Structure 1
Amino acid sequence: MEQIVADLFPNTQVPYPVILARMVGAILFGAAIGAEREYRDHAAGLRTHILVALAACVFALLALESVHMASFSDEQVRIDPLRVVEAVTAGVAFLAAGMIVFSRGEVRGLTTGAGMWLAGAVGLSVGLGYWFIGFFATLACFIVLFILGKFETRLGVGSSKEEEDK
């Protein structure tokens, strides 16, 4: 029985309560970004942004832990956690690009795609333990999407009216 528990919960560099807190943080920050998109009734809304942020967080945690795994301690094996960041960036950019549509001479979905990309960055930040960066990026995203979006709508200018509200 002890071996089963040890296999299910191997020793980690980052303690399990911290891992859980980082994953919950990624969920909350991703939700904050996605809530604005959901409010505007876009395809990539609350759930999508939560999943992007959480996935990025999990990849970041795995990158941190993989550096310390005994099975990777051989000199022949070289672990580069930066590759995980690059892979998450490329993967989320691919998802975000799928949100962008060019139709009738207009670009739509660009802001939603950028929000998904930022959700990935926020997830990586929290997963790597950089809570302040993740929080500030989420706050800045909220200001840009919600507050500036409202301001542009009132003025009748900007990308929020031309790109997103159709």
Structure 2
Amino acid sequence: MQIKSIAVFCGSKAGANPLYTQHAEQLGLLLAEKSIQLIYGGGNKGLMASIANAVLQKEGKVTGIMPEILAQWEHQHDGITELIIVDNMHTRKKMIYEKCDAAVVLAGGFGTLDELFEILTWNQLSIHNKHIFILNTDGFYTHLIAHMQKLFADGFLYESLESRMTILNEPAELVRFLN
């Protein structure tokens, strides 16, 4: 399957490590250079702003999907190609999943983890068949990945992580999966 759009889940904060922002920007530039549309949460703060602005810098397409309740907190990004305001978080996530061909998870907080686990769960239940990439910037997800591997080893998953998810350490590693 050719990837034309990628959902990116990431923090509305930048985090303490400057490499998080650098990787978000690198990924955004890469998506634009490959003419892959960014589908994301629509925010104009933190890593969300970094990736969206990097895509826009190279004249790429960005679709943001944001529930009304978050429009003020995450400061909706009015400079993107398309901003869709929806009623709630469930509608937001469903629409993001429907519009993307694959998903990349960057560093983030509880919302990012919620999105990661929901898309993994939907994948496991065959609600969708989209490949999931985790950008493990500076080991951000190493402990979580180890825990998910324990879930498989202890018999709580139906298949190995590798069948549904690919771990990347650098944004450039995504290129080999794009077409």
TM-score, normalized by length of structure 1?
0.28
Specify which structure has the higher proportion of strand. 2
Specify which structure has the higher proportion of helix. 1
Which protein is bigger by CA-based radius of gyration? 1
TM-score, normalized by length of structure 2?
0.27
